[in-house]
Structure 1
Amino acid sequence: MTIRKFTEDGVESFEAEIDGEKIQWDAGLSYARHLQTERLLSAQVPVSDKPDEMLFIIMHQTMELWLKLVLHEARLAAAAIKADDLDHALKTLDRIATIQRHMIHSWEVLATLTPHDFLTFRGFLRKASGFQSHQYRELEYLLGNKREDLLLVHTDDRAAHARLTAVLNAPSLYDELLRLLARRGFAIPASHLDRDWRRPYEPSDAVEDAWLTVYSAVETHWDLYALAEKITAIEYYFQEWRFKHMKTVARVIGQKMGTGGSSGVAYLVKALNLSFFPELWSMRTRMVAPREGPSYATPADGGVAG
């Protein structure tokens, strides 16, 4: 077996025939250097000698990597909406939804951690908790769940605190969506277009009316309708992720308190009632079938629809 050396673009390169294929590599960028695999694979540092802790660490590290990508894509989607570039926004939102589905399924791996397995190392975790994930908090802020008090958990990390503060003080993805509706001529209240972005979002009847108009004339507002459905899917999958998280925690620790002091499963159940895009959900209750001639939605004889 021989290796042929040559220079390409000023970089020392190599070629060898392996299994009938001409495989090339060079002294510049390699797979390991590009992906920083040495740093990545050395980042699993258990705090106990219990074998099941490795699963716990890798599971949460991979979740943080996916959160990083979702944040990256969500920022791109918000920028595209702000620039009225809905084609790119739709593509990016599709990618986020695909990542979310993968994240939902990944809880199945952690669910193989039995209560006995977890209790062998849980005490070593002290007060470390997923509640302290600054990327999860940033994603909630970016999507619109603005809670300034949640910043308190991150005061010991100045960089994370500064980043979260910046996201808290900026319009959310939904805020940008409402500004888009206003640019399209919908009567969005001024109070929802320029406000204190740190404050939790308050639903508006006028915003709900605007979405109802979009959904009642989808051919006229097709791009807004398609965008709204992609946005709704993000929350749909986010809630499914939250639910699988809650059920996995219940399966592993039951009703115990969380390591970070929260009520554990009970706290995660409360999170299921949070909504990023409230009017996109409430509007659905008011929708009726479009009338094309006599219709069960609005009876031609004035009677009660059955």
Structure 2
Amino acid sequence: MKHDHSPVLPGPGATDYARYMQTDALLGLQRSPGEVIHRDELLFQVVHQSTELWLKLAAAELAEATARVVAGQLPMAEALLVRATLAVRLITDGLEMLRYLSPVDFRAMQPALGKGSGAESPGWRQVQATSRQLGHAFGEQLDTRGVPAADLCPADLSDPLHRLAEAMVEWDERVSLWRVRHYQVALRIGGHPPAGSPGSPANMLAKLAGHRFFPELWQARLHSTADE
């Protein structure tokens, strides 16, 4: 008996997998061999395009987590935030691919990049916005429950509020580690002078590495240490 494997979904593509995943469009987003000025453009584009996809997912999870916090559904918000954090861990690991891009090769392909900069990433901007929204919603929950942020450390992990605070600190830390890794990659392949050098593009990257979305939760840790 022959099985019919013909696609049933609408759209372009020879299979339902191709149609649902839109692989024809996805795999056509990279510059073709006839367009590239250096073969490592494919490596560079795949790393950054996959980063944008993971950031899109992270921002969506953060937005839903925020809605759950507003609704008082803290365990679900925590679970969503854990997923967003894993996405950031994956893009941090993805930067390891750029270890195989030499400064000489990067300079050779730079004309193809124009004036493009990672600071222009739409995924990163969305993550910034949704992180701020999550922090605001969490702050309103603290006010409603009459819990000072300083009381969240040491954390009572049997309390959903404290567990969510820990997940938010983990998110902050993973984003910071991604920024630090990005900074190191910029030094390694970009040939930028280190932070502190006048006019170095690395100055902004180094500055951002110390940024925190939820500084009050980190401050709570300082208070806890001081009280011991």
TM-score, length-normalised on structure 2? Answer: 0.87
Shift of 1:211: 1.9
Q: Secondary structure at the match of 2:101?
A: coil
Given candidates 205, 209, 226, the residue that maps to 1:272 is 209
Structure 1: distance between partners of 2:47 and 2:2: 40
Q: Secondary structure at the match of 1:120?
A: helix
Structure 1: distance between partners of 2:75 and 2:210: 31
Shift of 1:288: 4.8
Structure 2: distance between partners of 1:91 and 1:287: 26
One-letter code aligned to 2:81: L
Say yes or no: does 1:211 pair with 2:199.
Answer: no
Change (3 A) 1:134 1:27: closer
State the percentage of identical aligned residues. Answer: 31
Structure 1: distance between partners of 2:115 and 2:153: 47
Shift of 1:256: 5.9
Shift of 1:109: 0.5
In the other structure, the counterpart of 2:12 is none
Say yes or no: does 1:182 pair with 2:143.
Answer: yes
Change (3 A) 1:277 1:139: same
Change (3 A) 1:141 1:27: closer
Q: Secondary structure at the match of 2:115?
A: coil
**Over aligned residue pairs, what C-alpha RMSD do you find?**
2.2
Who wins on radius of gyration, i.e. which is larger? 1
Deviations 1:36-88 (A, max 9, x none): 00000001026533111111111110000101110111111101101101121
In the other structure, the counterpart of 1:72 is 60
In the other structure, the counterpart of 2:168 is 231
Structure 2: distance between partners of 1:280 and 1:255: 33
Change (3 A) 1:120 1:217: closer
In the other structure, the counterpart of 1:141 is 129
Shift of 1:142: 1.9
Instruction: List gaps (5 residues or longer) in structure 1.
Output: 5-13, 15-24, 145-171, 187-209, 291-296, 298-306
Shift of 1:217: 7.0
In the other structure, the counterpart of 1:100 is 88
Q: Does the 8 A contact of 2:52 with 2:122 survive in 1?
A: no
One-letter code aligned to 1:39: A
Larger deviation, residues 243-252 vs 85-94:
85-94
Q: Does the 8 A contact of 1:254 with 1:265 survive in 2?
A: no
Change (3 A) 1:182 1:26: farther
Shift of 1:3: 2.8
In the other structure, the counterpart of 1:28 is 8
Change (3 A) 1:231 1:98: same
Change (3 A) 1:289 1:223: farther
In the other structure, the counterpart of 1:194 is none
Task: Using CA pairs under 8 Å that are at least 6 residues apart, name the structure with larger relative contact order, 1 or 2.
Answer: 2
Structure (1 or 2) with the greater strand fraction: 1
1:1-306 equivalent positions in 2, closer than 5 A: 3-4=2-3, 14=4, 25-29=5-9, 30-45=16-31, 48-144=36-132, 172-186=133-147, 210-215=148-153, 218=156, 222-255=159-192, 263-288=200-225, 297=228
Shift of 1:124: 2.5
Alignment length (residue pairs)? 216
In the other structure, the counterpart of 2:13 is none
Deviations 1:9-46 (A, max 9, x none): xxxxx1xxxxxxxxxx3431310000000000001026
Shift of 1:225: 0.8
Change (3 A) 1:216 1:105: closer
